[in-house]
């Protein structure tokens, strides 16, 4: 079995991105599959290009894309990617988009990962997790949609989805009102979820 696991570089003034840190640590724990980890840039179209190239070159059985969602309390598994970018926040290339992600694409695409089973697996190790119906309108949703569209357009037999991770404690030192989760618990959550695919 082969799993493609991605995270993002830091953005928005942060010096770390827990999605990438957790992707690396999760890959180290996985002994039931060959894992490729890829750090994506926080740039709309470049992130999709790199993710799709990894899909085509590595030919994984499953893809879990991950990103940071500061303000969330635990790992959340996204169900829906929408064909719209609508955020005033610029990406790391300085681009803010208010448009469809891919002209002619369907309004929404759905994760093909077994989300309920993944959440149940995380809960069984004593950690919270949930299925989210809102992947946002920023780069995370953009790459989620782009990868799902590529898989659908090319009839690839690949299960794919997206998970958002919260801040880690070091990121909330100056914003104590924001929730956080330890990198260890984020990693354990991602490992438990991916173990469902064995």
Q: What is the pLDDT of residue 189?
A: 98
Q: Which of 74, 140, 142, 150 is catalytic?
A: 140
Q: What is the pLDDT of residue 121?
A: 98
22 Cβ contact partners less than 8 Å away, ≥ 6 residues apart: 7, 66, 165, 183, 186, 187, 190
Q: Which of 43, 74, 78, 188 is catalytic?
A: 78
Q: Which of 43, 142, 150, 164 is catalytic?
A: 164
140 classed as catalytic: yes
Structural domains of the chain in order of their starting residue, each with its CATH number: 2-195 (3.40.630.20)
For 80-119, what is each residue's pLDDT tens digit?
999 999 999 999 999 999 999 999 999 999 999 999 999 9
* Single pTM value for the model: 0.97
Q: What is the pLDDT of residue 42?
A: 98
Q: What is the pLDDT of residue 64?
A: 98
Give the sign of the dihedral formed by CA 180, CA 18, CA 186, CA 88.
positive
Q: What is the pLDDT of residue 120?
A: 98
Q: What is the pLDDT of residue 68?
A: 98
Q: What is the pLDDT of residue 187?
A: 98
78 classed as catalytic: yes
- Residue 38: in which H helix or E strand, if any? strand 34-40
For 28-69, what is each residue's pLDDT tens digit?
999 999 999 999 999 999 999 999 999 999 999 999 999 999
- State the pLDDT confidence band at 126, using cuts at 50, 70 and 90: very high
Q: What is the pLDDT of residue 26?
A: 98
Per-residue pLDDT averaged across 126-144, rounded?
A: 98
Nearest CA among 140, 7, 157 for reference residue 78 = 140
Per-residue pLDDT averaged across 168-177, rounded?
A: 96
């Amino acid at each position: 079995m082969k799993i493609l696991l991605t995270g993002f570089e830091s953005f928005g003034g942060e010096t770390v991105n827990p999605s990438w840190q957790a992707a690396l640590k999760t890959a180290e724990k996985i002994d039931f599959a060959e894992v490729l980890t890829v750090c994506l840039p926080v740039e709309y179209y470049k992130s999709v290009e790199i993710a799709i190239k990894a899909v085509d070159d590595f030919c994984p059985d499953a893809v879990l894309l991950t990103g940071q969602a500061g303000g969330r309390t635990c790992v959340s598994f996204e169900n829906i990617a929408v064909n719209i970018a609508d955020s005033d926040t610029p990406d790391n290339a300085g681009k803010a988009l208010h448009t469809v992600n891919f002209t002619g694409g369907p309004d929404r695409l759905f994760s093909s990962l077994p989300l309920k089973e993944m959440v149940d697996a995380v809960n069984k190790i004593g950690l919270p997790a949930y299925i989210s119906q809102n992947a946002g309108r920023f780069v995370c949703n953009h790459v989620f949609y782009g990868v799902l569209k590529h898989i659908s357009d090319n009839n690839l037999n690949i299960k794919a989805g997206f998970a958002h991770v919260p801040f880690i404690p070091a990121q909330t030192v100056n914003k104590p009102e924001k929730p956080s989760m330890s990198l260890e618990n984020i990693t354990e959550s991602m490992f438990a979820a991916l173990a469902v695919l064995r």
